Amino acid sequence: MVKLTDMTLADLKVLIAQVVEEQLQGWQNRPLDDRSAEQVLEAMDRLRWSPPAGSPSTTELLREDRDR
């Protein structure tokens, strides 16, 4: 296995092209999702997590962390 630091620019471009091609092949061979847009949105609503009431907001958590 060749280290990235030992590769030439041409070698790196070939590697990137190979990875992109593998990803495209995997994407093309994925099972099709035959759900309607409404079904997908309903599933997203069911799976969405909401923090408990009274939980600090993201901004509050960042401010607390910054102030430490």
Q: Digits of tens for pLDDT over the chain (68 positions)?
A: 889 889 999 999 999 999 999 999 988 888 888 999 999 999 999 999 989 999 999 999 999 999 98
- Residues of the domain holding 33: 4-67
Quote the distance between the C-alpha of residue 30 and its chain's center: 17
Q: Can you tell me the distance from the alpha carbon of 26 to that of 62, in angstroms, rounded to the nearest whole number? A: 38
Contact 12, 4 (CB under 8 A): yes
Look at residue 31 in the predicted model and tell me its pLDDT.
85
Domain count, the chain: 1
